[in-house]
């Protein structure tokens, strides 16, 4: 730490026009490679401060306020060879995603404003750093999210990416979707990244084109095909993220990934679907077999919830059923048929939402304006009779209210 304190003193007094690359040289690089994990965060912050100081010098030179010195290129080369490998290696430590993302962003900004240098054998352009730290599936999602939050508001970086990478906005949208799959929705960095991505021209164009009525009424097959291919590019990384989350993550992320993929299917299916011949892997399942498969999967899920309550949140399942009841307004017969199956396989979950079911039945009758709907009541009674005393009490109460 004495070396670090001394280096900070030099930084505070130096104009950085001396042989700073020799000062940093072997000492700081060796320290980064051999320090304890508990000290790594502080050292990464120190390196980030160094990058900021040098970037200020190069930025002043780029606008004509100053001139770069012969040692400037040497400094950039040293950073490339020494600090980038350390930054990439720090990804494996769960306690360092924030400083690692900041350091990666600082290095990219330094490359953006520094004079051209020689070949370093590592990532030496803004494009290379962006593709690795911002878009690679091998980088921690927290690091990528933090990195992109630094990069996107910077006009100089985005201008260079626009020239060097023709599909840079597509890459940003892909990276955003990957972060959305792998990070909790209440993460402040993810919310900031979402705000930045929604300002992209490509995203705004998608929202204007994705009006289903407009898309379906369009006779321009070429336009439809181009839009479908574009959205397929955006979504190509999502299946891999789903597999990762389901294998390793918490129940909160499981819930998040189910919601996200459900919304993607709901809103993108009409655009991605193409009426053409089915491939060998997409054979149509006959209706009786399809119904049997549906009941099989429903039984497997509910039996797992019943037999392993420690891994399945019963409250979350009840909330899902409550949301399902919203469809009573348009298709009460199918909704009650599913609830009847659930009431047989796992009645305790249906008991938790029995009041909500009764209210949904009353609301459906009220909206239709036909008074008591005998067919609806009969279907609802088929559900309640599987719930024992709870179902009998609810049925008696419903009859009294009528």
Mean pLDDT (the chain) is: 75
- Per the listing, tokens 């299916």 go with 269
Give the Cα separation of 114 and 128 in Å (integer): 15
Give the distance between the most distant pair of CA atoms in the chain. 92
Distances (CA, A) of 304 to 297, 300, 307, 314: 11, 6, 5, 11
Least confident of 44-48, 225-229, 299-303: 299-303
Question: Does pTM top 0.85 for this prediction?
Answer: no
pLDDT value of residue 402: 67
Nearest to 66 by CA among 76, 56, 52: 56
Does the pLDDT of residue 193 top 90, yes or no? yes
Contact 180, 190 (CB under 8 A): yes
pLDDT band, very low/low/confident/very high, at 294 (cuts 50, 70, 90):
low
Q: How large is the average pLDDT for residues 84-91?
A: 62
User: pLDDT (tens digit, 9 = 90+) per residue, 139-184?
Assistant: 888 889 999 999 999 888 899 898 888 888 899 999 999 999 888 8
Percentage of the chain modeled with pLDDT above 70: 62
Helix (H, G, I), strand (E, B) or coil at 301: helix
Does the pLDDT of residue 80 top 80, yes or no? no
User: pLDDT (tens digit, 9 = 90+) per residue, 99-110?
Assistant: 778 888 887 887
User: pLDDT (tens digit, 9 = 90+) per residue, 313-371?
Assistant: 677 778 878 888 888 877 788 888 888 888 888 888 889 889 999 999 888 888 877 77
DSSP one-letter code for 313: -
């Amino acid at each position: 730490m004495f070396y670090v304190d001394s280096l900070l003193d030099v930084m505070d007094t130096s104009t950085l026009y001396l042989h700073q690359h020799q000062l940093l040289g072997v000492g700081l690089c060796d320290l980064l490679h051999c320090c304890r994990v508990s000290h790594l965060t502080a050292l990464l912050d120190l390196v980030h401060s160094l990058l900021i100081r040098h970037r200020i010098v190069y930025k002043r030179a780029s606008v004509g306020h100053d001139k770069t010195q012969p040692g400037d290129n040497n400094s950039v080369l040293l950073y490339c060879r020494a600090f980038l490998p350390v930054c990439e290696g720090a990804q494996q430590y769960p306690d360092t995603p924030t400083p690692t993302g900041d350091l990666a962003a600082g290095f990219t900004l330094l490359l953006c404003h520094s004079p051209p240098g020689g070949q370093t054998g590592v990532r030496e352009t803004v494009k290379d750093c962006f593709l690795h730290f911002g878009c690679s599936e091998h980088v921690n999602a927290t690091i990528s999210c933090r990195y992109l939050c630094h990069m996107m508001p910077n006009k100089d970086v985005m201008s260079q990416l626009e020239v060097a990478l023709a599909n840079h906005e597509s890459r940003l949208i892909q990276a955003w979707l990957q972060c959305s799959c792998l990070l909790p929705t209440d993460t402040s960095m993810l919310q900031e990244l979402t705000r930045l991505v929604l300002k992209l021209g490509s995203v705004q164009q998608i929202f204007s084109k994705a009006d289903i009525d407009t898309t379906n009424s369009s006779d321009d097959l070429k336009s439809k095909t181009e839009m479908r291919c574009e959205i397929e590019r955006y979504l190509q990384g999502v299946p891999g993220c789903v597999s990762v989350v389901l294998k390793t993550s918490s129940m909160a992320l499981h819930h998040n990934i189910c919601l996200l993929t459900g919304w993607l299917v709901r809103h993108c299916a009409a655009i991605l679907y193409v009426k053409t011949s089915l491939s060998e892997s997409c054979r149509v399942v006959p209706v009786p077999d399809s119904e049997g498969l549906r009941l099989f999967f429903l039984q497997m899920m509910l039996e797992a919830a019943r037999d392993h309550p420690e891994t399945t949140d019963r409250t979350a399942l009840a909330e899902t059923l409550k949301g399902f009841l919203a469809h009573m307004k348009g298709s009460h017969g199918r909704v009650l048929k599913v609830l009847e199956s659930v009431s047989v396989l796992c009645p305790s979950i249906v008991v938790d939402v029995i009041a909500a079911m009764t209210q949904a039945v009353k609301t459906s009758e009220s909206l239709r304006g036909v008074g008591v709907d005998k067919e609806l009541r009969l279907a609802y009674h088929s559900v309640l009779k599987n719930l024992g005393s709870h179902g009998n009490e609810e049925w008696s109460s419903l009859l009294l209210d009528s």
